[in-house]
Structure 1
Amino acid sequence: MLDLGDDMLFRTLLPRKVLVTCAFASSQFTVEDAADYQLFLESLDGLNYSGPRLVELVLNCVASKRFHKPVQPKSWFFEPRSADFTPKEGNIVQLTNQFNQGRFIVLDVGENASLCLSAELEPFILSPGKELVFGQAIKVMHDRMECVNSGSQKIALVG
């Protein structure tokens, strides 16, 4: 759980089995968490979700990045895309298989694979009887990803 202050606690959607041990103790929302929150919020802003749904997704991104156990990629669920693509944190990527395609946000970038979180409101079917739900994480090889946005920030002209 993340302690957000003012008597507010956030509990992630992640199952216990994928969380590191420190996730079960109360944790303060850190400066790094705030920076990640802002990055993910700006990246996901274009998805046109309601305010509460967007905040829920962004907080799940922060919690997953901080508390998700290291896992092996499960790329066999997805079709190959681009061999040359290397994502950045906050990128929105599309993953595709024979059942559907969906948008995911990149949380943590590794050398050849990255931890991603499902940004789809509807379940993403991985195989018959197996699906990812909104806010659930999966590690995927980069060659399965197709960039939807570059996570670029909005700018405002001042003066």
Structure 2
Amino acid sequence: MLLMPKRDWQWRYDDSHGVLSVSLGAEMEFLTPYKSKLLIPDALSELEFSVEHAKFYIDFVELLTKSINISDAAKVQLALNGTAAYFLLKPQMPKSWFFDTSSMCVYSEIGKVFQLRCQGNSVQVLVVETSIQASLVMLLSKELALNSTKTLMQFECIKVMHDRLHPLKMNRAIAAA
């Protein structure tokens, strides 16, 4: 079952867990993976889940329905994390140097899934925000070691130039006439 935004939803910084959370009513709270150093100052106090946030969340769920085959619970999790990332993360500079360049030109748009390749590993990422040259992507895989000291965990975001996004391999059936 998909959760639809309600008037009582609120963003708040959860000090006990050290991450941004969304209060989804009296008895439910969703924890994002985003720590205080990544968040804009407004995200560190209570903030309403606005109409703009609700619209983005609903649109994101619809995009996920079209782009990947996952459970409703997973869609809610991705959409809440994506909404938090889109509105409440500090702007980032691209960190493309961690990733292999793609030989194909891609069209990046919110909700689209790509691969990133780093040190021989391929992981799937979901576009959360896009601009002319770069996209903010959320890691769908469990984790990715960027180098010997830095690891990106599932649902964390990183900004990369579009030339680092590899299209997913599609299984194409060829019909013979």
Please give the range of the TM-score, normalised by the shorter of the 2 chains: 0.7 to 0.9
Match of 1:123 among 135, 140, 143: 143
Structure 1 residues 15, 147: closer, same or farther in 2, change over 3 A?
same
Out of 61, 66, 71, which is 2:92 matched to?
71
- Correspondence for 1:101: 122
Distance 2:45 2:85 in 1: 15
The residue identity in structure 2 corresponding to 1:103 is Q
Please give the alpha-carbon distance, in whole angstroms, between the structure 2 residues aligned to 1:131 and 1:96: 14
TM-score by length of 2: 0.72
Retained in 2: the 8 A contact 1:3–1:28? no
Structure 1 residue 35, shift from structure 2 partner: 2.5
Of the two structures, which has the highest relative contact order with CA contacts closer than 8 Å and spacing of 6 or more?
A: 1
Distance apart, 1:34 and its partner CA: 2.1
Instruction: Determine which structure has more spread, i.e. the larger CA radius of gyration.
Output: 2
Q: CA deviation at 1:39?
A: 3.0
82-91 or 71-80, larger mean C-alpha shift: 82-91
Amino acid at match of 1:89: I
Q: How does 1:41-80 map to 2 (within 5 A)?
A: 41-45=61-65, 47-80=68-101
SS at match of 2:167: strand
Q: Is the 8 A contact 2:127 2:136 kept in 1?
A: yes
Q: CA deviation at 1:8?
A: 4.3
Query: What whole-Å deviation, never above 9, does each CA across 1:5-51 have from its counterpart, x for those lacking one?
Result: 45644442111111000111222222222222223323434645454
Q: Does the aligned pair in 2 maintain the 1:82–1:145 contact within 8 Å?
A: no
**Comparing 45-54 and 86-95, the one that deviates more:** 45-54
Q: Structure 2: which 5+ runs fail to align?
A: 1-10, 12-21, 170-177
Distance 2:123 2:71 in 1: 19
Query: How large is the Cα RMSD of the aligned pairs?
Result: 2.3
| Partner residue in 2 for 1:20 | 40
Give ranges in structure 1 of 5+ residues lacking alignment.
Answer: 150-159
Tell me the secondary structure at the aligned position of residue 60 of structure 1: helix
TM-score under structure 1 length normalisation:
0.79
Letter in 1 for 2:152: L
Task: State the distance in 2 between where 1:9 and 1:27 align.
Answer: 14
In the other structure, the counterpart of 1:113 is: 134
